[in-house]
């Protein structure tokens, strides 16, 4: 075989190797990204979700049936913050007072979630 052909073939093989590696890693990254999107999409796609969340009651607004709670991370929905949540029934807030550390159940199709149960933790 002519030497230049051998060199050209070798370089072609190397290029193919680099290209294959690029495509392989690219495909892997794309798959991971797709999984991530799918996981995120599940929250938005209208699936009913349920969380148990710890927090502390900051305000109660009985007129509109809302509790404002400083809460921990709600995985897949929102990070820790102070936020108002509607209660599923008007009587729910009666068990707690401002300043209470609580554990509550959040249920619904994001972003329409309500507190279905709440209890003091100490």
Partner 1 sequence: MIALEVLVRWAHLALSVLLVGTAVSILLAGRSDRPTALGWETRMLDACRGLVVLAFAAGVAVLLLQTALLEGRRAAALDPGALRRVLLETRGGHVWLVRHGLLLLLAAFLAVPLDVRRRVDWRAARGETALLGLAALGAGAAAGHAAALPGALAAIATDTVHVLAAGAWVGGLLPLALLLRRAGRAEGADARPLAVLAARRFSRLALACVLALVASGSVIAWAQVGSVAGLVGTAYGRLLLGKLALLAPILALAALNRRRHLPALGGEALRVGRPAMRRLARFVAGEAALALAVLGLAATMGFTPPAAHAEPDWPFAFRLSLETLADAPARAARALVGSQVLVLGAVAALAALVVRRARWPLLGGALVVLGAGAAIALPPLAIDAYPTTYVRPAVPYQAASIVAGAARYREHCAVCHGPTGAGDGPGGLRLARPPADLRAPHTGQHTAGDLFWWITRGIPRAGMPAFGATLAAEERWDVINYVRALSAAHAARNMGPTVEPDRAWLVAPDFAYAVGPTPARTLKDYRGRRVVLLTLYALPGSRPRLAQLADLYGSLTALGAEVVAVPTDAAPDALRRLGAAPRILFPVVTEGAADIVAAYRMLAAAPHAELLIDRQGYVRAIGRGAGLAAAEPNALLAEIQELNAEKVPAPAPEEHVH
User: Which residues in this chain contact partner 1 in the complex, by CB under 8 A?
Assistant: 1-4, 6-8, 10-11, 14, 54-61, 68, 70-73, 80, 82, 97-101, 121
Q: In angstroms, give the least distance from the CB of 6 to partner 1.
A: 6
Q: In angstroms, give the least distance from the CB of 121 to partner 1.
A: 7
C-alpha–C-alpha distance, residues 74 and 44, integer Å: 15
Considering the complex, state which of residue 39 and residue 101 has its C-beta at the smaller distance from partner 1.
101
Considering the complex, state which of residue 6 and residue 38 has its C-beta at the smaller distance from partner 1.
6
């Amino acid at each position: 075989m002519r030497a230049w052909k051998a060199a050209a073939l070798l370089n072609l093989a190397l290029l193919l190797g680099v290209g294959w590696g690029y495509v392989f890693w690219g495909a892997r990254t794309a798959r991971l990204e797709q999984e991530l999107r799918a996981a995120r999409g599940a929250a938005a796609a209208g699936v009913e979700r349920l969380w148990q969340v710890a927090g502390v009651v900051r305000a109660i607004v009985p007129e509109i049936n809302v509790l404002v709670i400083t809460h921990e991370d709600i995985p897949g929905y929102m990070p820790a913050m102070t936020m108002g949540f509607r209660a599923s029934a008007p009587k729910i807030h009666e068990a707690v007072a401002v300043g209470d550390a609580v554990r509550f159940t959040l249920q619904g199709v994001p972003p329409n979630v309500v507190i279905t149960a709440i209890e003091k933790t100490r």
